Amino acid sequence: MRTEQPKTIYLKDYQAPEYLIDETHLSFELHEDRTLVHARLAMRRNPARGAGLPPLVLDGQQLELLSVVLDDRELGAHEYQVDDSHLTLQPPQAEFVVETRVCIHPESNTALEGLYKSGRMFCTQCEAEGFRKITYYLDRPDVMSRFTTTLSAEQQRYPVLLSNGNPVASGSADNGRHWATWEDPFRKPAYLFALVAGDLWCVEDEFTTMSGRNVALRIYVEPENIDKCQHAMDSLKRSMRWDEEAYGREYDLDIFMIVAVNDFNMGAMENKGLNIFNSSAVLAKAETATDAAHQRVEAIVAHEYFHNWSGNRVTCRDWFQLSLKEGFTVFRDAGFSADMNSATVKRIEDVAYLRTHQFAEDAGPMAHSVRPDSYMEISNFYTLTVYEKGSEVVGMLRTLLGAEGFRQGSDLYFQRHDGQAVTCDDFIKAMEDANGVDLTQFKRWYGQAGTPRLEVAEQYDAKAGTCTLTFRQSCPPTPGQAHKEPLVIPVALALLDGQGRELPLRLAGEGEAAGTSRVLAVNAAEQSFTFEGIPEQPLPSLLRGFSAPVKLVYPYSRDQLMFLMQHDSDGFNRWEAGQQLAVQVLQELVGQHQRGESLVLDRRLLVALKSVLENQSLDQAMVAEMLSLPGEAYLIEISAVADVVAIHAAREFARREIASALYEPLWQRYQANRELSRQSPYVASAEHFARRALQNIALSYLMLSERPEVLAACQDQYQATDNMTERLAALAVLVNSPFEAEKTEALVLFADYFQDDPLVMDQWFGVQAGCPLPGGLERVQALMEHPAFTLKNPNKVRALIGAFANQNHVNFHRADGQGYRFLADQVIMLNALNPQIAARQLAPLTRWRKYDASRQALMKAELERILASGELSGDVYEVVSKSLV
Ligand code: ARG
Ligand code: ZN
């Protein structure tokens, strides 16, 4: 906590460390009321910084310093300086050993950063700057050291003692305590340090790497969760194999461990050899986790595993380079998920997520580039931009270089920088060198914030048989960046003839057509490309597979969009055409609502959806995606001024129209799939995910009819199922329905049955928090009092407060501002408990510029109230102050 304003750190001020740490020996004495940490650091002057011996400044926060020893001599208090964030002393010569003893209090650490207790277990979260809350250190990623860690704890309460690397020794002491020593042979920055002590069970397996080494795999969980580990274990083995095949990356230690903890700020953490996971990102079984949760577990297990190379073996020089590991690793896990399930559906989900949430971030007060120029609190920069847009930037490189060129570039990157802490520029350089190309202009994607707009115009010349595409790119100003330079935008495209066939594509000056689908590298503010030998007026299919994170603007008519929905050979663009058609239709309804007219739906949307629904050869997951209307959050994002009430009314009206017009085909497909669900036990596979996705979206439409046979089917699906996917979907549909008695009964039964499973209770909170029916705020306020709710658990906060503020737009944005007041109250309380979570929950209030004048005033007033509420953490201060500028 602080009262004074936190300092801004700039990338341009980066300097290499003055000192290096060759060896780090840590020993932890874990007790119920304190933990003693002894650190022995073998250090030396960094030769790259010259010969002199400036003072050594170690980072350290919230540490009670007990003693300092320099080269085996205990220092007197006058021989060092301590303040609330540093320990400073004078090294006697270029090589020396510093030892510190500190006392810390994991038992009262509610920020969940550094060493803390989750339930009965000790665990750590050090990224980005948590290690300094454990001991005095050079807590920066370019200081890499070999770690040896000894932990001791009471044997009975903490039979399992884990740290990074390989176990090398253990034993018991006579006072009921025991100890273990772990040695990590790989040099690593402190943010990858981890420690766990607890009463844990583990599921064991093994993996033989491509060079024939055996690796022991262990997933540690609290005993009651031992039956929920198999899916994560299978996912881990698939990830290990995939990284060998897709990137040539082999695992490097003899053991790989995952530990599930209930209280965790993020999804998971890639600590070397000892990944620590939010239990929601590892535990999954049919009865308690939905299909979406199963897929999330698979993706996060892969993500953290892939970090072993993209992050650990090659790490970041400084935190401005965060996307070097995160953007690349998200790109890698997306490739894995695409290969494990449906690639098109994975792309659709990722793009919908990016356009809804990252585009909103990029248009808001916290907009920053993929490689930010400055920050106050680095925790605030674990963002959609760094992760998701960062992944898109890597994806564009692959599109431009081709799969093979990209692989050569990644091979060179890993080989050249193994064991180093490097920058985004080093990544680009490896891509350039492996491919003999110049990516200077491409690098602007790392430095420029904001979502580019790409306008395309088409001109067909029948006489000449040419089709000219003219591209105009622009990018709106973002905080600190008034003016933007043109980017390299890869545009994958095809030209379709009247039958929907792709035409051969030959640019003016080319001898032969280079296929029927190609990538244009658009790199000027305005640029034209002319295709020759085009026999008829074509319809362009643009930005296929969403080949760049831009807002594409092309004047498609609704009939053209219907044509693309039917005929585009790019699956992503077929879905996209349907979305754009729905956007046009919904925006028309929004206008009607605002003018007080009665709503009239363009029947073409119904015709299009009917043909999708009746197409038995289409992947069912695609059918489900195409039946899903653009979400309210996306409709808000693309509005200049978002009218939340009109958007909700328009979308609900359209859903009802679809439900009544398509009742028969929806009911048929629902029943067919429900029958399959009844007949076969749950399987977590793409085909089954697809079947249930269609079944559940069909049910959500059908229920709008309020017919008794649908209510009965819904109740049956709620009760008679072996899996959470069907049960939760039925519960959500009931909760959003007008059947008060039935929904109450289902909610009570559910909570009764699952009260001891916190992850299932999160889903129960989430379904209610997202319900748009009137009275949403009051329902959420009542749920805050439920015995299963606590502000101290981030998953609970996200499930109830986060779902309300981010998904329940009509209730959160109620005109009297009470939704905003509620969120601000929670942020003020969270600020004192867990600054990282507090700062994240704030995001919806920072988007105040999107709404009408009255809501803007109410939202700003709440931000100002937070700012004036007393001692603010740096995390909350940064977000609030920047969003009020
Ligand atoms: N590196 C972790 C991951 O991608 C996230 C750690 C985030 N930590 C934080 N303090 N924000 O998967
Ligand atoms: Zn990551």
**CA 621–ligand 2 middle distance (angstroms):** 27
Q: Which ligand is nearest to the CA of 382?
A: 1
Q: Which domain holds residue 74?
A: 1-111+123-197
> What does pLDDT average to over the chain?
98
Please state whether the peptide bond connecting residue 128 to the residue before it is cis, i.e. omega within 30 degrees of 0.
yes
Choosing from 18, 270, 304, 637, which is the catalytic residue?
304
Which one of 127, 321, 378, 383 would you pick to mutate in the ligand 1 pocket, going by the greatest count of ligand atoms within 8 A of its CB?
Answer: 127
Confidence of residue 1 (pLDDT cuts 50, 70, 90): low
**Which pLDDT value is given to residue 210?**
98
Same domain, 48 and 87: yes
| Packed helices 424-435 and 322-340: angle between N→C axes, nearest 10 degrees | 60
Nearest CA to ligand 1 atom 2: 269
- The DSSP annotation for 851-868 comes to S-HHHHHHHHHHHHHHHT
Whether the pLDDT of residue 2 is over 60: the answer is no
Which one of 129, 264, 266, 387 would you pick to mutate in the ligand 1 pocket, going by the greatest count of ligand atoms within 8 A of its CB?
Answer: 266
Write out pLDDT tens, residues 67-98: 999 999 999 999 999 999 999 999 999 999 99
Which residues make beta-bridge pairs with 153? 178
**Which pLDDT value is given to residue 513?**
85
Q: Which ligand is nearest to the CA of 276?
A: 1
**CA 266–ligand 1 middle distance (angstroms):** 6
CA angle 202, 195, 271 (to 5 degrees): 85
Q: Which ligand is nearest to the CA of 332?
A: 2
**Which numbered atom of ligand 1 lies nearest the CA of 130?**
10
Whether the pLDDT of residue 460 is over 90: the answer is yes
CA angle 230, 233, 234 (to 5 degrees): 85
Same domain, 537 and 614: no
Confidence of residue 850 (pLDDT cuts 50, 70, 90): very high
Write out pLDDT tens, residues 146-194: 999 999 999 999 999 999 999 999 999 989 999 999 999 999 999 999 9
Specify the 3-state DSSP secondary structure of 131: helix
**Which pLDDT value is given to residue 174?**
87
Specify the 3-state DSSP secondary structure of 102: strand
Closest CA to 796 of 258, 281, 288, 262: 262
**Which numbered atom of ligand 1 lies nearest the CA of 269?**
2
**CA 320–ligand 2 middle distance (angstroms):** 14
**CA 377–ligand 1 middle distance (angstroms):** 14
Using CB atoms within 10 Å of the CB of residue 690, give its burial: 0 to 12 exposed, 13 to 18 middle, 19+ buried: buried
**CA 572–ligand 1 middle distance (angstroms):** 30
Same domain, 671 and 719: yes
Same domain, 860 and 721: no
**DSSP letter at 50?**
-
Rounded CA separation 262/798 (Å): 13
Decide if 422 contacts 314 (C-beta within 8 A). yes
Decide if 143 contacts 181 (C-beta within 8 A). no
The domain spanning residue 466 has which CATH number? Answer: 2.60.40.1840
Same domain, 735 and 793: no
**Which numbered atom of ligand 1 lies nearest the CA of 326?**
4
* Residue at 525 is within a domain: yes
Whether the pLDDT of residue 4 is over 70: the answer is no
Decide if 789 contacts 800 (C-beta within 8 A). yes
Whether the pLDDT of residue 3 is over 90: the answer is no
Show which of 707, 725, 748 is a domain's final residue: 748
C-alpha gyration radius of the chain = 28
3-state SS, 545-565, equals CCCCCCEEECCCCHHHHHHHH
**CA 532–ligand 2 middle distance (angstroms):** 45
**Which numbered atom of ligand 1 lies nearest the CA of 304?**
12
**Which numbered atom of ligand 1 lies nearest the CA of 128?**
10
Same domain, 680 and 602: yes
Whether the pLDDT of residue 283 is over 80: the answer is yes
* Residue 793: both structure tokens together: 């658990």
* Residue at 150 is within a domain: yes
- The DSSP annotation for 298-329 comes to HHHHHHHHHTTTBTTTBEESSGGGHHHHHHHH
Which one of 382, 391, 840 would you pick to mutate in the ligand 1 pocket, going by the greatest count of ligand atoms within 8 A of its CB?
Answer: 382
* Residue at 803 is within a domain: yes
**DSSP letter at 199?**
-
Write out pLDDT tens, residues 593-624: 999 999 999 999 999 999 999 999 999 999 99
Write out pLDDT tens, residues 474-499: 999 999 999 999 999 999 999 999 99
Same domain, 676 and 591: yes
**Which numbered atom of ligand 1 lies nearest the CA of 267?**
12
CB atoms within 5 A of ion ligand 2 belong to 326, 329
Catalytic site includes residue 304 = yes
Rounded CA separation 383/366 (Å): 10
Type and span of the H or E element at 183: strand 177-188
Write out pLDDT tens, residues 694-736: 999 999 999 999 999 999 999 999 999 999 999 999 999 999 9
Nearest CA to ligand 1 atom 3: 269
Same domain, 535 and 560: no
- The DSSP annotation for 683-746 comes to --SHHHHHHHHHHHHHHHHHGGG--HHHHHHHHHHHHS-SSHHHHHHHHHHHHTSS-HHHHHHH
Closest CA to 844 of 877, 865, 821: 821
Write out pLDDT tens, residues 673-696: 999 999 999 999 999 999 999 999
Same domain, 732 and 759: no
Q: Which ligand is nearest to the CA of 128?
A: 1
* Residue at 278 is within a domain: no
**Which pLDDT value is given to residue 580?**
98
Which one of 113, 188, 264, 269 would you pick to mutate in the ligand 1 pocket, going by the greatest count of ligand atoms within 8 A of its CB?
Answer: 269
Whether the pLDDT of residue 534 is over 70: the answer is yes
* Residue at 93 is within a domain: yes
Place of tokens 């709710």: 789
Decide if 826 contacts 796 (C-beta within 8 A). no
Q: How far is CA 876 from CA 4, 135, 154, 638, in A?
A: 13, 25, 37, 27
**DSSP letter at 422?**
E
ipTM value for the complex: 0.97
Which residues make beta-bridge pairs with 24? 41, 147
Specify the 3-state DSSP secondary structure of 11: helix
pTM equals 0.99
Nearest CA to ligand 1 atom 8: 127
Decide if 786 contacts 624 (C-beta within 8 A). no
Strand-by-strand arrangement of the 518-522 sheet: 518-522, 489-496, 539-541
Decide if 809 contacts 635 (C-beta within 8 A). no
In 10 A of CB 104, how many CB atoms? 21
Quick one: how far is CA 160 from the chain centroid? 30
Show which of 500, 524, 545 is a domain's final residue: 545
Whether the pLDDT of residue 883 is over 80: the answer is yes
Residue 815 — φ and ψ, nearest 5°? -65, -25
Place of tokens 């009975």: 156
**Which numbered atom of ligand 1 lies nearest the CA of 266?**
7
Number of domains in the chain: 4
In 10 A of CB 289, how many CB atoms? 25
* Residue at 814 is within a domain: yes
First CA to last CA distance, the chain? 22
Rounded CA separation 175/178 (Å): 8
Whether the pLDDT of residue 34 is over 80: the answer is yes
**CA 307–ligand 2 middle distance (angstroms):** 7
- What would the mean pLDDT of 381-386 be, rounded to a whole number? 98
Whether the pLDDT of residue 289 is over 90: the answer is yes
Cβ-proximal residues to 608 (8 Å cutoff; 6+ apart), any chain: 562, 565, 578, 581
* Residue 820: both structure tokens together: 């905003």
Rounded CA separation 57/541 (Å): 58
Decide if 732 contacts 699 (C-beta within 8 A). no
Decide if 181 contacts 168 (C-beta within 8 A). yes
Q: Which ligand is nearest to the CA of 324?
A: 2
For 384-420, letters b (16+ CB in 10 Å) and e give bbbbbbbbbbbbbbbbbbeeebbbbbbebbbeebeee
**CA 304–ligand 1 middle distance (angstroms):** 10
CA angle 860, 386, 366 (to 5 degrees): 15
| Packed helices 322-340 and 230-247: angle between N→C axes, nearest 10 degrees | 110
**Which numbered atom of ligand 1 lies nearest the CA of 311?**
1
Specify the 3-state DSSP secondary structure of 306: helix
* Residue at 847 is within a domain: yes
Same domain, 815 and 873: yes
In 10 A of CB 111, how many CB atoms? 21
Closest CA to 310 of 239, 205, 215, 210: 239
Rounded CA separation 718/720 (Å): 6
**CA 578–ligand 2 middle distance (angstroms):** 32
* Residue at 774 is within a domain: yes
- The DSSP annotation for 793-854 comes to -HHHHIIIIIHHHHH-HHHHT-TTSHHHHHHHHHHHHHHHH-HHHHHHHTHHHHTGGGS-HH
Show which of 494, 515, 545 is a domain's final residue: 545
**Which pLDDT value is given to residue 776?**
98
Nearest CA to ligand 1 atom 5: 269
Rounded CA separation 531/760 (Å): 56
Q: Are strands 274-278 and 268-269 parallel, antiparallel or unpaired?
A: antiparallel
**DSSP letter at 314?**
B
How many percent of the chain have pLDDT more than 90? 99
Rounded CA separation 579/609 (Å): 11
Nearest CA to ligand 1 atom 1: 269
Same domain, 541 and 569: no
The domain spanning residue 178 has which CATH number? Answer: 2.60.40.1730
Confidence of residue 514 (pLDDT cuts 50, 70, 90): confident
The domain spanning residue 814 has which CATH number? Answer: 1.25.50.10
Decide if 552 contacts 543 (C-beta within 8 A). yes
**CA 265–ligand 1 middle distance (angstroms):** 8
Which residues make beta-bridge pairs with 530? 468
Residues with CB under 6 A from ligand 1: 127-128, 265-270, 303-304, 326, 379, 382
Whether the pLDDT of residue 219 is over 60: the answer is yes
Same domain, 531 and 567: no
